[in-house]
């Protein structure tokens, strides 16, 4: 299935009504899809860099190109000290009240649940931090499970976290989609045998995301409802 959705929710090409009715579960990335945490991540990264590395500008732009991956993996890729994780996590918890939910997300999640779809979060964050943030934002009860990168053998782009979410939900990959805002998310979805859906309403690089070849591109949260019209067959 290769398709794009206009802001109106009308499918431009590819996805059939039959395929839309077949979706039984949606797995979401967290940052950049459900919540806008970009500025909080920037501040937490800058504080961690200053504490561990020292003076000079924190290379947040390079860090942001790896979003979706587990923080220790990003540090290894960037050649930065793993000791940055502790202050980064500390500051992320301290600042989590500044994270906001994207417009339309709560209503979209409620509608999907009303249609009897199973929902999960599979994130580059640690599980405890993701669940804490979602609880703070009153979104945690929406999800059947929330899995972090520290809770699977291999984080994204490996398929482990998506497969773990679907196992907990009791849904086969062929009946699921994953919504992410980074090529890492799409790679994880594809490797798990799940339809890879790109969300382009956040801070991610749209050109890079489209170049990764998603099965579907969504321009707004409400557009997901076009792909998930009912939970028939669950």
- The reported pLDDT for the residue numbered 10 is 38
The topology (CATH level 3) of 3-36+99-227 is: Rossmann fold (3.40.50)
Mean of the per-residue pLDDT values of the chain = 89
- pLDDT tens for each residue of 198-211: 999 988 889 999 99
Residues 6+ away with beta carbon under 8 Å from 188: 122, 156, 157, 158, 159, 161, 162, 178, 180
Q: What order do you get walking across the sheet with 216-218 strand by strand?
A: 3-5, 216-218, 195-199, 176-180, 25-28, 118-123, 145-148
- The reported pLDDT for the residue numbered 93 is 94
Confidence of residue 7 (pLDDT cuts 50, 70, 90): very low
- The reported pLDDT for the residue numbered 154 is 95
- The reported pLDDT for the residue numbered 5 is 53
Element (H, E) at 5: strand 3-5
> Could you tell me the CA-to-CA distances from 227 to 20, 64, 132, 188, 231 in Å, in that order?
4, 29, 29, 20, 11
pLDDT at 14 over 80: no
> Could you tell me the CA-to-CA distances from 83 to 13, 45, 61, 225 in Å, in that order?
47, 12, 20, 42
Confidence of residue 231 (pLDDT cuts 50, 70, 90): very low
Confidence of residue 228 (pLDDT cuts 50, 70, 90): confident
pLDDT at 17 over 50: no
- Lowest mean pLDDT of 12-26, 43-57, 66-80, name the range: 12-26
Ordered alpha helix ranges (H), the chain: 17-22, 38-52, 60-64, 71-78, 85-95, 105-114, 127-136, 160-169, 183-191, 206-211, 224-227
Confidence of residue 111 (pLDDT cuts 50, 70, 90): very high
Confidence of residue 11 (pLDDT cuts 50, 70, 90): very low
- The reported pLDDT for the residue numbered 205 is 85
- pLDDT tens for each residue of 123-173: 999 999 999 999 999 999 999 999 999 999 999 999 999 999 999 999 999
Instruction: Supply φ then ψ for residue 34, to 5 degrees.
Output: -95, -35
pLDDT at 53 over 70: yes
Global confidence as pTM: 0.88
Average pLDDT of the segment spanning 11-26 = 58
Q: Could you give the 3-state DSSP secondary structure of residue 35?
A: strand
């Amino acid at each position: 299935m290769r398709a794009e959705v206009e802001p109106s929710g009308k499918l431009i090409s590819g996805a059939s009504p039959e395929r839309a009715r077949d979706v039984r579960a949606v797995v979401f990335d967290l940052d950049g899809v459900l919540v806008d945490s970009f500025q909080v991540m920037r501040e937490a990264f800058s504080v961690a860099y200053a504490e561990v590395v020292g003076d000079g500008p924190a290379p947040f732009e390079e860090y942001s190109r790896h979003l979706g991956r587990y923080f220790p993996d990003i540090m290894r890729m960037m050649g930065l000290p793993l000791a940055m994780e502790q202050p980064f996590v500390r500051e992320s918890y301290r600042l989590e009240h500044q994270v906001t939910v994207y417009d339309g997300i709560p209503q979209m999640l409620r509608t999907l649940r009303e249609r009897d779809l199973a929902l999960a979060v599979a994130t580059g964050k640690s599980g405890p931090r993701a669940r804490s943030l979602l609880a703070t934002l009153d979104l945690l009860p929406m999800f059947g499970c929330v899995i972090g990168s520290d809770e699977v053998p291999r984080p994204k782009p490996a398929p482990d976290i998506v497969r773990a979410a679907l196992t907990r939900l009791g849904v086969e990959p062929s009946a699921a989609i994953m919504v992410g805002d980074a090529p890492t998310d799409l790679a994880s979805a594809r490797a798990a045998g799940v339809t890879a859906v790109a969300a382009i309403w956040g801070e991610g690089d749209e050109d890079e995301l489209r170049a990764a070849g998603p099965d579907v591109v969504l321009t707004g949260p409400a557009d997901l409802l076009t792909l998930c019209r009912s939970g028939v067959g669950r």
